[in-house]
Amino acid sequence: MRQNIIRNDNFWEMACKNDDSWTWKSIMHVRDEVMSTTYNAIGPGIAHDITPYLAANGKIASSLIYEVLRRRSLPVAWGKFLWSGLQCKRWSFIVWLALRERLYTRHRLYLRGVCDTSLCALCGLEEETEAHLWMRCTYVADVAQHLMVWMHISHWDVSLQGWMDWFDSDPRQTSCIFQTKLLMLCSLVYNTWKAQNRVVFGEAFAPPLDCARSIISLCKDRMRVKCRPLSHKDNRWLVKLGV
């Protein structure tokens, strides 16, 4: 495309010709829309000032335009420990989606006409929303109860966000105790969501106890490979968990 159409012209400034193909005219239309949106994002009065988007070679850089157009949100406290630690990155990703309320729950799919019911696939008692899954679902609560016994936790917070706030307030974020509890939570969210997907796609339903045992086994394997005790207290904690 650059050799046959653009050649020595500047893509962001060249005009569309009458004999151009429909595909190229569509690309040029999208280009004009992007530039218009970008100018509006900058503000009135400087609609023709392209200086912020010029690269070192004097040409408009798509990456700089993307930085202006993309939506930014305030940094979250849990971001600094969710993507590190003992857990798999795919576990962290599902937790991130859950915290952002971006999981394709049955309620969301039902509103889009993808499925014929919005009831929770795991308990069948309420509409399956993020708030239901991580606060009121009896299946997730049963799995969490087994994990609490294993982790010697006496209190389970009422929400996933509450857990993340608790992790953020804990000053011992490098200790094995902190890391193993975070590992347990991420594994809980990932594997209960996996159990939900298995039911939705017609696979076998895993009882809460079986799901909890699978999570404990996965967590122990990760601890044996990844966990590095920093103190005698950490060692005692790992022995207490049966690692």
Structure tokens at 224: 């044996």
Beta bridge partners of 127: 119
Task: Count the neighbouring beta carbons within 10 Å of the beta carbon of residue 211.
Answer: 23
> Phi/psi at 222 (nearest 5 deg)?
-65, -40
Half-sphere exposure (CA, 13 Å, Cβ side) for 79?
Answer: 6
Q: How far is CA 217 from CA 10, 24, 222, 242, 243, in A?
A: 58, 55, 9, 10, 10
Question: Per-residue confidence of the chain (243 residues) as pLDDT tens digits?
Answer: 777 777 777 777 788 888 888 888 888 888 787 767 655 554 444 444 555 555 666 566 667 667 666 667 777 878 878 888 788 999 999 999 999 899 999 999 999 998 899 999 999 999 999 999 988 999 999 999 999 999 988 876 667 888 888 887 776 766 888 889 999 999 999 999 999 999 999 898 999 999 999 999 999 999 988 887 778 888 888 899 998
Q: Is 210 helix (H, G, I), strand (E, B) or coil?
A: helix
* Residue-level pLDDT at 36: 72
* Residue-level pLDDT at 46: 40
